[in-house]
Amino acid sequence: MNSPNSKQQLFDRWAPFYDFWIPSILYQATHQRLLEYVELPEDPNVLDLSCGTGRLLNRLAAAYPSLQGTGLDFSAAMLRQARRSNRHRPRLIFVQGQAAPLRFTDRQFDAIFNTFSFLHYPEPQQVLAEICRVLRPDGTFYWVDPTTNASTGVGYSPVTPNGMRVYSPEVRQQMGTQAGMKHIRHEYLIGKNLLSMFVKVS
Ligand SMILES: C[S@@+](CC[C@H](N)C(=O)[O-])C[C@H]1O[C@@H](n2cnc3c(N)ncnc32)[C@H](O)[C@@H]1O
């Protein structure tokens, strides 16, 4: 399995080509579908955790003119691309950091987005606990990743040779609930890319 550092280097190397890579085009189409399920309060303050090149935040900022957004990622090269293509300065900012622990204060965000990234985290339950901590009560967590039909029961799904974990809908639901969130719905966006929505219990 890749170490966190080698993963970071992998994403750094990938960043200059990321937006032109075929699966990224599918990711962007999935972001567009995700917007159909997004509901935000007035003047929302949102976090895109592992934002990559910032495409989703730019899309959200265009749809919600009063939205303030923070994109966090551990790859400096991904963030360079995100800052370069930031069309909504100063409403959108991009900062470097790990998915856990998060560098934010408790209850800071109205919504948190995580797309095509959760499957890379070596400590998934710790990330969910941090998401829950920085989400305000009744705030929403939008988790989008490919899923598997195989129910893996309690615990994590097997780790692939690339250090990725694919979670079944049942396992996601269980993990979010354990972290202190209420599961709201599952929706398939494109193919096996599943949106799991949670609300932080007040
Ligand atoms: C496949 S990309 C997805 C990017 C973006 N969310 C999207 O939908 O296009 C995965 C991203 O997760 C970031 N990432 C992976 N592990 C991370 C970690 N432990 N902490 C912060 N970012 C991480 C990578 O740097 C990369 O930008």
Contact 52 CB / ligand 1 (< 6 Å): yes
- The domain that holds 112 is classified in CATH as 3.40.50.150
- Does 1 fall in a domain? no
CA–centroid distance, residue 50 to ligand 1 (Å): 4
CA–centroid distance, residue 37 to ligand 1 (Å): 22
Contact 140 CB / ligand 1 (< 6 Å): no
Q: How many domains does the chain have?
A: 1
pLDDT over 70 (residue 3): no
Angle at 74 between CA 68 and CA 78, to 5 degrees: 75
User: What's the mean pLDDT when you consider all of the chain?
Assistant: 93
Neighbours of 141 (CB within 10 A): 25
Please tell me the predicted confidence (pLDDT) of residue 71: 98
Ligand 1 atom closest to Cα of residue 4: 19
pLDDT over 80 (residue 171): yes
- Structure pTM? 0.94
Contact 73 CB / ligand 1 (< 6 Å): yes
pLDDT tens across 113-164, in order? 999 999 999 999 999 999 999 999 999 999 999 998 765 543 456 667 677 8
- Does 174 fall in a domain? yes
- Does 118 fall in a domain? yes
CA–centroid distance, residue 2 to ligand 1 (Å): 14
Please tell me the predicted confidence (pLDDT) of residue 153: 46
- Does 140 fall in a domain? yes
Query: 152: domain range?
Result: 6-14+23-35+42-200
Contact 78 CB / ligand 1 (< 6 Å): yes
